[in-house]
Amino acid sequence: MSFQLKIITIVTVACIICTGTAMYIASQEAQVEGEQSLINKGEAILTRLEASRDYVANQGLLRETIADLVQKYPNGDLPEEQKQKVLNVVPIYASLKIGMKNARKDKYKFRVAARDARRKTNEANELERSFLERFEEDPDLKQITYKDKEKNAMWVMRPVRLSEDQGCLECHGAPSTSPFGNGQDILGFKMENWKDNKLHGMFAVISSLEPIQAAVTETNVTLAKWGGGITVAVIAIVFFLLKGPMNILNNISARISSASQRNLQSSDSLKGTAQSVSAASTEQSAAIQETMASMSEMSSMISRTISVAKDTEKMATELNDKTNQGQKVMTGMVDSMNSIKQANERLNEMIGIIKDISSKTNVINDIVFKTQLLSVNASVEAARAGNHGKGFAVVAEEVGNLAQVSGQAAEEIRDMLEKSQRHVEAIVTDTNSRVEEGERVSKDALSSFKEISDGINTIHSYARNVNEATVQQEEGISQISEAMGQMDTASQQNSKMAEQVSLMSGELHHQSQELATLNNETQLLVKGRLDHGPGQFQSPAPQSQPQAQASGGKVLSFFAKGHGPENHAGEAPAGQAPAEPQAPPAQAEANQEPSNFNGTSKPDLSKFKKAL
């Protein structure tokens, strides 16, 4: 049920109640007034009756009439008209008659009730007897009003008491006073021997309540009409008056809802950020420790570097001397190469000589060839000579053979010469190339030596620079170590702050959830239902509590990393307020960690400074 509807309902109900109340009060008042007026009317009538009774009594006609009639009719046998004459002067009868007269016209019923009434119609019924008893009991009671719900009528009753003054006892008195002495009154009724002021009966004016009720109903109808009209008008006015503000309220509620959602997200992301910051600071601490260790290593390295640089400087000087010697040796080698070159030229000359010798073997070959021809021709001649030329043939043949042998020898010589020439040539080319290579190499070596010498000089200067640089490095490292110390404290502060931020984000989360809950409640109030949009919490209270706890647990477990299971036990209990019971352990963790840093890093630093 929306707020607007509620307000309208309230207004409507209020209007209805007001109208109802007005109607009730009005009807009551009308009723009472009507009844009072009826009573007044009754009273007035009864007063008039009493007045008329008194009036009639004051005439004093009754005694006179009785005396007359007693004279006239001493036997007491009165005609009816005489009896009527007597009745007409009886005060109570007069008032009774007056009461009866115009009763219908004036809208009331007149009733006379009496016990032991002379007329049976006037005998009191049970209700009337009760009233009579009341009158009897209290002689001072002048009047009784009674509302008869059964007959829907208002009774106004007054007692009728006997009065001597009014001559009541003339008829109802002691029988001894009977006019005829027979114990009967003038009309022949037995005298009751009543005393003065004896309750004889009562007059009752009974008015119907119906007209009053009709008036009340009419009033009610009018009031209901007016009330209904006013209610409708008020509802319309309220509806139009509330329309604008309700829209604004809805809008605000939606904005609060989205804001609280954003808040929730921001708090979550803040928490995440805080966790990452915390993790980062832990990593940073570790990194700082590592860096410290590295720094001390670096410091020892630097001191080693210094000694190495000094050694290098010394070595460079020695090496420079050696290089100079090498240079000299290389110069000598170049000279040697030149002599080898000259020797090679001589070998070349030798090749020329070998060629000459080779050409001489050609001459030998020529001779051999010719000798062979000659030997063939000699053989031919010997053959022609027949038996005489037989010996010559043998000689010719031998000559031919010798020529052949010498030809072979010459051939061999030539082969050998060619071979040796080739060898020598190969040696010469080889030597030449090697000498050239040697020359080149020695020149290269020489230049290399020069370069080496230059390099060594450079190394020398570098080593000196390295020396200076390492001294500066040492200073730098000491500065870095100071910076590291500062970073260490900073990271400790970081981790503390991250922890605080984490706690605060948990709180923020909690608050934003509370805000969401409030907003939901507001929405529930305003709209009478929940929008199932993003960021609405259907049942915020049971959800938010464990969530908040879980987040608290996360923070805690993060800080409790590597610190035993007792911390995990701390996050287990459910139904606790998330922030307060967990904050002390988290803080304890946070304090523990920095103390760890202090415990390890400070000696590191001192060690490190000592190394410097």
C-alpha–C-alpha distance, residues 609 and 268, integer Å = 44
Query: 98 and 205 in contact (C-beta within 8 Å)?
Result: no
User: Partners of 111 in the beta sheet?
Assistant: 204
Q: Which stretch binds other proteins (CB under 8 A): 90-98, 165-173, 270-278, 369-377?
A: 369-377
532 scored as a contact of other proteins (CB under 8 A): no
Q: Which stretch binds other proteins (CB under 8 A): 195-203, 306-314, 370-378, 439-447?
A: 370-378
State whether residue 159 is helix, strand or coil. Answer: strand
578 scored as a contact of other proteins (CB under 8 A): no
In this chain, which of 230, 343, 383, 577 binds other proteins, going by CB under 8 A?
383
376 scored as a contact of other proteins (CB under 8 A): yes
Strand (E) or helix (H) holding 144: strand 144-148
Residue whose CB is less far from other proteins, 262 or 390: 390
Q: Which stretch binds other proteins (CB under 8 A): 214-222, 385-393, 460-468, 544-552?
A: 385-393
CA angle 20, 24, 30 (to 5 degrees): 140
In this chain, which of 397, 411, 425, 507 binds other proteins, going by CB under 8 A?
397
In this chain, which of 120, 149, 384, 532 binds other proteins, going by CB under 8 A?
384
**For residue 109, what are the CA distances in angstroms to 42, 121, 151, 207?**
10, 14, 12, 6
C-alpha–C-alpha distance, residues 567 and 586, integer Å = 9
C-alpha–C-alpha distance, residues 53 and 161, integer Å = 12
How would you class 455 by CB atoms within 10 Å of its CB: exposed for 0-12, middle for 13-18, buried for 19 or more? middle
The tokens for 16 are 């209805």
Query: 336 and 434 in contact (C-beta within 8 Å)?
Result: no
Closest CB 370 distance from other proteins, rounded Å: 8
300 scored as a contact of other proteins (CB under 8 A): no
Query: 530 and 520 in contact (C-beta within 8 Å)?
Result: yes
Closest CB 392 distance from other proteins, rounded Å: 12
Q: Which stretch binds other proteins (CB under 8 A): 93-101, 391-399, 431-439, 585-593?
A: 391-399
Q: Which stretch binds other proteins (CB under 8 A): 7-15, 233-241, 243-251, 374-382?
A: 374-382
Residue whose CB is less far from other proteins, 130 or 377: 377
379 scored as a contact of other proteins (CB under 8 A): yes
Closest CB 407 distance from other proteins, rounded Å: 12
Q: Which stretch binds other proteins (CB under 8 A): 116-124, 171-179, 395-403, 513-521?
A: 395-403
| Cα-Cα end-to-end distance for the chain | 80
C-alpha–C-alpha distance, residues 561 and 558, integer Å = 5
Residue whose CB is less far from other proteins, 379 or 495: 379
Name the phi and psi angles at 285, rounded to 5: -60, -45
The tokens for 140 are 């001072």
* HSE, side-chain direction, 13 A CA sphere, residue 14: 9
In this chain, which of 2, 145, 372, 511 binds other proteins, going by CB under 8 A?
372
Residue 144 identity (one-letter amino acid): I
Strand (E) or helix (H) holding 49: helix 3-59
Residue whose CB is less far from other proteins, 288 or 403: 403
Residue whose CB is less far from other proteins, 386 or 575: 386
In this chain, which of 255, 390, 419, 529 binds other proteins, going by CB under 8 A?
390
363 scored as a contact of other proteins (CB under 8 A): no
* Per-residue burial over 550-588, b = 16 or more CB atoms within 10 Å of its CB, e = otherwise: ebbbbbbebbbeeeeeebeebbeeeeeebbeebbebbee
380 scored as a contact of other proteins (CB under 8 A): yes
388 scored as a contact of other proteins (CB under 8 A): no
In this chain, which of 377, 433, 461, 486 binds other proteins, going by CB under 8 A?
377
368 scored as a contact of other proteins (CB under 8 A): no
**Residue whose token pair is 């630097």:** 302
Q: Which stretch binds other proteins (CB under 8 A): 237-245, 334-342, 388-396, 442-450?
A: 388-396
Contacts with other proteins, 398-437, as mask; x by CB under 8 A: x-xx--x---------------------------------
32 scored as a contact of other proteins (CB under 8 A): no
C-alpha–C-alpha distance, residues 75 and 184, integer Å = 12
Query: 439 and 337 in contact (C-beta within 8 Å)?
Result: yes
Closest CB 373 distance from other proteins, rounded Å: 6
Q: Which stretch binds other proteins (CB under 8 A): 66-74, 153-161, 375-383, 460-468?
A: 375-383
List interacting residues with other proteins (CB under 8 A). 372-373, 375-377, 379-380, 383-384, 386-387, 390, 393-394, 396-398, 400-401, 404
